[in-house]
């Protein structure tokens, strides 16, 4: 049995939710692992990010966002509106802000990412995908996207790949 | 260690989202694999489908849909309305339609499944379930459903089961 | 290869959806298993419960619910309103109630948890998390919560941990 861990960094500069296509990195992890049959878990340890599988939609907005992914954001906007100021949601409360400012040296405004936390919880933190004959089973059109829902500030993010198999 | 892959085909003729109970197929995969302790990942490579676990709700609509599953669809309808014509969502855009028609030989109308793509992304593409003492841990009432959200046309679909354990 | 199963019980007395922080139990399962590299699947076999990863939000409501988790409930309320009486959703229908009363000895009112079933299906039944160097990869702030969406009655619940690795 092989357990293989791989990680890549992505950068989210847009100040809006961003989708990073990590399909090639996932395929590279499978090739490096030597696993022919097993699973790959694509995972975010960041609590404002998610992993989804979606079709590539070809058309893009001026800012580069694929149409289908922007449609997904627009649907989420109706359920979990973008956080624009404190008091819109319960979070962040006073204890959280004191912790962020005093213990972590963060600006209070960076905590106005409540929408990103909730969206990440709803959409889920990972996808587990079969590896069959040395390839990720994504069908004809599937792409793996790491979603950074936090548009408050530019961030560097880590995407984890954990592979099990033989 | 054993890695075991199993797949079954289901057919979605209804022209509305359909739920396929694949619990028996999952149990058969566990029996065939010989795995006593491990996990089974039930997975859709189709980007308009999902896998969920839900209670069997006994009552059904005239078209066969279980009440609880129709309730789930009704809730999703409020967030991700059924796509009825182009321009309702950004997707499908002109590049996507050109690709579908010219490269894949598809009808443009088949791409009006934007709702299904978004629902599939929100609900998730798989469930990973513990195998304990040779049985899937579904509790008293759990059933595994493969959800085909694409009601645009009748489709044949593949459900993947990837098992790891010993 | 090691497969290790662990389970803990939690109690939900609140008559509203409850979030149980099971991070310590998950870490204990990893320590007991001896696994250094692998995955842990945190799973609910209950069809009205989910597993999520979320940041600890420090501030709490009078009833103990963390602010960020209550925000998530408030968002879900708009999509899947709390079930207050029969007829609000299709489920539970007459066949289901007859089964619950006659076969299981349950009160009809206990089946008014349709919202919990749907929320559980949308949010998902499990999270699979990498184990790296003997530790769960949760990042700086991640906590694992078992979510009991069923507020109809006080319940005892089982949380499953299934670990694979070496």
pLDDT at res. B19: 97
**Nearest residue, CB atoms, A59 vs list B96, B125, B164:** B96
Q: Report DSSP letters for C7-40, one per residue.
A: EEEEEE-SSS-EEEE-HHHHHHHHHHHT-SSEEE
Query: Do B164 and A39 meet the contact criterion of CB atoms below 8 Å apart?
Result: yes
Share of chain B above pLDDT 90, in %: 96
* Residues A83-134 pLDDT 10s: 999 999 999 999 999 999 999 999 999 999 999 999 999 999 999 999 999 9
- pLDDT tens digits, C29-48: 999 999 999 999 999 999 99
Q: Is the pTM of this model over 0.80?
A: yes
Classified as helix, coil or strand, B116 is helix
pLDDT digits (tens, 9 = 90+) for B120-153: 999 999 999 999 999 999 998 999 999 999 999 9
User: How far is C9 from A57, CA to CA, in rounded Å?
Assistant: 44
**Lookup: tokens for A50:** 């998610």
Label residue C122 by pLDDT band (50, 70, 90): very high
Residue count (chain B): 166
Mean pLDDT, range B2-25, rounded to an integer: 96
Nearest CA in chain B to A166: B3
- What is the pLDDT, as a whole number, of residue A14? 80
**Model confidence pLDDT, tens digit, residues C47-87:** 999 999 999 999 999 999 999 999 999 999 999 999 999 99
Is the reported ipTM for this assembly greater than 0.90?
A: yes
Give the up-direction half-sphere exposure of residue A28: CA atoms within 13 A in the CB hemisphere. 8
What are φ and ψ of residue B139, in 5° steps?
Answer: 70, -170
Query: Where is A143: in which H helix or E strand?
Result: strand A142-148
The per-residue pLDDT for A21 is: 98
Question: What is the C-alpha separation between A13 and A74, in angstroms, rounded?
Answer: 20
- Interface mutation vs chain B, best among A17, A39, A52, A65, most B CBs within 10 Å: A39
Q: Give tens-digit pLDDT for B64-114.
A: 999 999 999 999 999 999 999 999 999 999 999 999 999 999 999 999 999
Q: Tell me the C-alpha distance between A96 and A149, whole Å.
A: 20
pLDDT digits (tens, 9 = 90+) for B36-64: 999 999 999 999 999 999 999 999 999 99
Residue C14: predicted pLDDT? 80
Across the interface, do B71 and C90 touch by the CB < 8 Å criterion?
yes
CB atoms closer than 10 angstroms to residue C136: 22
pLDDT tens digit sequence for A24-71: 999 999 999 999 999 999 999 999 999 999 999 999 999 999 999 999
What chain C residue is nearest to B132 in terms of C-alpha separation? C5
Q: Is C36 exposed, middle or buried (0-12, 13-18, 19+ CB in 10 A)?
A: middle
pLDDT at residue C15, rounded to an integer? 87
The minimal CB distance from B138 to the residues C45, C79, C164 is found for C45
Scanning every residue of chain C, which has its alpha carbon at the shortest distance from the alpha carbon of B53? Answer: C121
Contacts of A127 in chain B (CB under 8 A): 124-126
Average pLDDT (C20-37) is: 98
State yes or no: pLDDT of A160 exceeds 90: yes
């Amino acid at each position: 049995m092989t357990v293989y861990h791989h990680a890549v960094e992505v950068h989210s500069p847009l100040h809006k939710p961003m989708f990073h296509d990590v399909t090639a990195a996932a395929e590279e992890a499978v090739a490096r692992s030597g696993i022919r049959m097993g699973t790959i878990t694509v995972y975010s340890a960041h609590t404002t990010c998610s992993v989804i599988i979606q079709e590539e939609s070809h058309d893009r907005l001026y800012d580069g966002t694929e149409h289908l992914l922007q449609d997904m954001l627009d649907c989420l906007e109706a359920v979990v509106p973008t956080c624009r100021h404190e008091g819109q949601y319960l979070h962040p409360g006073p204890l959280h802000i004191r912790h962020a400012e005093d213990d972590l040296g963060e600006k209070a405004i960076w905590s106005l990412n409540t929408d990103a936390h909730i969206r990440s919880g709803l959409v889920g933190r990972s996808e587990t995908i079969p590896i069959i004959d040395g390839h990720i089973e994504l069908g004809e059109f599937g792409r793996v996207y790491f979603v950074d829902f936090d548009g408050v500030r530019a961030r560097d993010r880590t995407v984890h790949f954990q592979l099990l198999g033989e």
